[in-house]
Amino acid sequence: MTIHELVASLEPEINTIREQIHENPELGLKEYNTSALIEKELRAKTHVDRIEHIGETGLLVEIKGTKPGIAHCIALRGDMDALPIKEDENHKLRSRTDGIMHACGHDVHTSILLGAVRVLEHYRNQIAGSILFFFQPSEETLQGGKLFAESPKIDFHTIDGVAALHVTPDLCAGKIGVRYGAILGSSDELTITVKGKGGHGAHPDTVIDPILLASQIVQALQMLVSRELAADQSGVVSLCSIQGGNAFNIIPDSVVLKGTIRALDSRVREHILKRIPEICKGVAAAGRGDAEVSIKLGPPPLINDSQWVDRVKRCGSKLLGHENVIELEHPSMGAEDFAFVMQKAPGVFVRFGSRSEGGPYGGLHSPHFYCDRKALTTGILTLAGIALDFFGVDFE
């Protein structure tokens, strides 16, 4: 049986699992039923060598190869959590949980990883070493990847490489996209508390206006990107929330700004993180106020390893056809907690198409997001192909 025949034979079962997960979405760190379903399937239909819990809902699965030789190891990841979004009622396959849906394709990722387990078991006797599978919770909080990156149950010194896939509606189902170098940005949370002195709106000379200072800080932070980064450097400082005051004629004591910081290069990230507190405090001080800056660090930029990108292009061309392997021109300022794992080992992050040929565009994190069933086969072939290419298995 060829790998295409094997995947085709498993696809109906995997699609059934995907439908169950999609209809019963769970938010990050609450994926109890999803985790239990995957564990039940693994115990009933596979002969994996290890199943361990990472946190309350994560699963670490291992297949040990039986081929003699120097042992190597690869890790593959699929995330499981959904988003607090109400799904489009016109979707044929839709969430049964009001206000929660798989709007980022993690139901597909989880199902593909399960399919990869089923496929790679068939090649056990051609593998010298181990394949690890990370069924990861809570990617949407950008913290779930840390559970695996920091778990004492995983010895990253023995892992030669890691790989993960993520759907994208920018490509049609059947195609994959990969990129050399940075493919996703870092993501850090910013909170700025601007402190002034409140009072009557009719007498601004008697107050220190934090609303005015906050507006000046918003402007100044945009100059950080436009005037302190070189033209070939990328960074984003987006202030997405401003809260202060509750009456039309009362100037408040303080204003709170919240936002996100993104960068594709660690040095750019460090510069932005250093300058934000300096700018905020300087602007506030010029207006006789003060600013407290709190930054919660998230994942670093996600940088693909060149050799692993070569591997994806090589096995993708064999399994999907050269015309279906796209080299992505631009990175995204979106972020991924898989970057925490890729700090531990070199690897690759691959996009794969979710949109139906000629079908509507349903953006990620949108009530209208959907994934063409054809993407399941593409994802399983790609993820399994990466592992088989790594172990030098002839899978054509």
Binding site listing for Mn(2+): 104, 106, 140, 166, 365
Residues of the binding site: 104, 106, 140, 166, 365
**Strands (E) located in 305-384:** 325-327, 347-355
CA 136: distance to chain centroid?
11
Nearest to 137 by CA among 109, 173, 101, 170: 109
Dihedral (Cα; 386, 392, 393, 396), 10-degree rounding: 70
Q: What is the DSSP letter of 90?
A: T
Rounded Cα distance between 196 and 358, Å, is 55
Which distant-in-sequence residues (6+ apart) come within 8 Å of 355 by Cβ?
A: 169, 170, 171, 172, 173, 361, 362, 372
Q: What is the DSSP letter of 347?
A: E
| Cβ–Cβ under 8 Å, residues 311 and 347 | no
Query: Do β-strands 235-243 and 250-251 pair in parallel, antiparallel, or remain unpaired?
Result: unpaired
Instruction: Spell out the long-range contacts of 308-312 with Cβ–Cβ below 8 A and sequence spacing 24 or more.
Output: 308/161, 308/163, 308/346, 308/347, 308/348, 308/386, 309/178, 309/179, 309/180, 309/348, 311/348, 311/386, 311/389, 311/390, 312/163, 312/176, 312/178, 312/348, 312/350, 312/382, 312/386
Angle between helices 306-320 and 374-390 (to 10 degrees): 130
210 backbone dihedrals φ, ψ, rounded to 5°: -70, -20
Give the C-alpha distances (Å, rounded to integers) separating 83 from 70, 91, 157, 174, 264: 42, 16, 34, 25, 25
